[in-house]
Amino acid sequence: EVQLLESGGGLVQPGGSLRLSCAASGFIFSSYAMNWVRQAPGKGLEWVSSISGSGGNTYYADSVQGRFTISRDNSKNTLYLQMNSLRAEDTAMYYCARDYSGNYPRGADYWGQGTLVTVSS
Amino acid sequence: DIQMTQSPSSLSASVGDRVTITCQASQDIRNHLNWYQQKPGKAPKFLIYDVSNLETGVPSRFSGSGSGTDFTFTISSLQPEDIATYYCQQYDNLPPVFGGGTKVEIK
For residue A49, the chain B residue with the least C-alpha distance is B95
Judged against a pLDDT cut of 90, whether residue B53 lies above it is answered with yes
Query: pLDDT (tens digit, 9 = 90+) per residue, A13-42?
Result: 999 999 999 999 999 999 999 999 999 999
How does pLDDT run across A45-94, given as a tens digit for each residue? 999 999 999 999 999 999 999 999 999 999 999 999 999 999 999 999 99
DSSP string, chain B: ---EEEE-SEEEE-TT--EEEEEEESS--TT-EEEEEE-TTS--EEEEETTTEEPTT--TTEEEEEETTEEEEEESS--GGG-EEEEEEE-SSSSPEE---EEEEE-
Select the residue from A62, A106, A113, A116 to test the B interface by mutation, using most B Cβ atoms within 10 A: A106
CB pair distance less than 8 Å for B43 and A95? yes
Residue of chain A with shortest Cα separation from B32: A106
Mean pLDDT, chain B, as a whole number? 97
Query: Does residue A105 sit at the B interface (CB-CB below 8 Å)?
Result: yes
